[in-house]
Amino acid sequence: MKKVLRRSWVEISLSQVVENCQVYQAHSSTENIMAVVKADAYGHGAVEVSKILESIGVCNFAVSNIDEAIELRNAGIKGEVLILGYTPIEEVENLIRYDIVQTLLSSEYATQLINYGSKIKCQYAIDTGMNRIGLNADDVHMCEREIRRASKYLVLMGMYTHLCVADSDLQECNIFTEEQIQKFENVVTAVKDLDLPYIHCLNSAGGLWHRADAGEFSRVGIALYGLKPDYLNILPEGIKPAMEWKSVISMIKTVYAGETIGYGRTYLVEKDMRIATVSTGYADGYDRRLSNKGYVLINGKKAPIVGRICMDQFMIDVSEIECNIYDEVILLGNSGALSITADDMAHTIGTIGYEVVCSISKRVQRKYIY
């Protein structure tokens, strides 16, 4: 039976993902992109996004863990799949079985993989200032020694670093980013003779606003989905959010002055008003911090959230809006001349667009538009 999308659902435009990818490529300082589809493609659906990108010639994908990697293989993705994070040693046989590339997080981890026996495909992480994973690029000799060891005992495909302030245009951040790229290039130069095919250091922001001699790839995540690395960024014309989040009004009623709305009675009704109940809540990933703060769009108008977001529902003020029970409500997306992006929503509650889209839960149905 076909599922009816009438409670809470997202509509994902795969043609917009393609458009975002192509506009990105046209504006990026690198030739190739590695599509970052971790966390279910930031909530957009890793299989669908990877398939559409593979169909336009993208052959490299990055995920966060082995389960995400296997999901892509089971869906028939043929390109290289790189795991950016930790794979427990008990799971390592799956790297070989599914032909997955593993990041070497540390020299200890490299030793574990070397001791595993069979040769595993991998890329070394180089730490140039993020202090998350990788070999410390300040010690070029140590990096060189480690990379040579890995290339001898493993199938070392390359190395990469990660930039941590490439999305800021503050001068001190630009300087830090340039230093990170320089540190990475020093390591790359020390092992030039190994001719490693995968050398990369740019994320979405890096590829748009920086350049690196080392490497012809950008690892692009957020820009594929049409969101900004940082709220202050201006993306190239044509990169737009690929996802809209919709719900419906399940009930409309009048409440009277002196009453309160929702848990904790945090909203006091000052004069008689018309409120509508929306059938989405924090268990769908609609952030509770939007309580008494956020708004939704109905028929081209803004409807403010009143009271606390509940687990499965929330209430909005529709006193000034012409609307009916079962009308569509836009949580993210466009309505008339107005729009709410995940970046706007994130800004309201002090987080980033990444978190907003990643948090949309499994029970929110995904609908794909081509």
Ligand X SMILES: *Cc1c(COP(=O)(O)O)cnc(C)c1O
Nearer to ligand X, 180 or 204 (CB): 204
Annotated active-site residue in 152, 263, 293, 367: 263
Measured CA to CA, the distance from residue 338 to residue 326 in angstroms comes to 21
- Beta strands 301-306 and 295-298, pairing class: antiparallel
Do residues 175 and 147 touch, judged by C-beta distance below 8 A? no
Segment 77-96, which members bind ligand X (CB under 6 A)? 84
Specify the amino acid at residue 119. K
Confirm or reject binding of residue 162 to ligand X (CB under 6 A): yes
Q: What is the pattern of x (binds ligand X, CB under 6 A) and - over residues 39-78?
A: ----------------------------------------
Distance (Å) of CA 75 to CA 45, 72, 80: 12, 5, 14
3-state DSSP call for residue 311? Answer: coil
Q: Helix (H, G, I), strand (E, B), or coil: what is residue 33?
A: strand
Closer by beta carbon to ligand X, 21 or else 269: 21
Catalytically annotated residue among 24, 38, 42, 282: 38
Structure tokens at 265: 């009675």
Would you count residue 100 as binding ligand X (CB under 6 A)? no
CA distances from 112 to 81, 282, 300 (A): 21, 41, 57
126 binds ligand X (CB under 6 A): no
**What is the distance between the alpha carbons of residues 130 and 138, in angstroms, rounded to a whole number?**
12
Kindly state whether residue 102 participates in binding ligand X, applying the rule CB under 6 A: no
256 flagged as catalytic: no
Segment lying near ligand X (by CB under 6 A), choices 51-59, 144-152, 190-198, 220-228 = 220-228
Binding flag, residue 214, ligand X (CB under 6 A): no
Check residue 212 for interaction with ligand X (CB under 6 A).
no
Nearest to 331 by CA among 244, 204, 202, 269: 244
Binding residues for ligand X restricted to 227-246, rule: CB under 6 A:
229
Assess 222 for contact with ligand X (CB under 6 A): yes
List, by residue number, the catalytic residues. Answer: 38, 263
Q: Interface residues with ligand X (CB under 6 A)?
A: 36, 38, 84, 162, 203-204, 219-222, 229
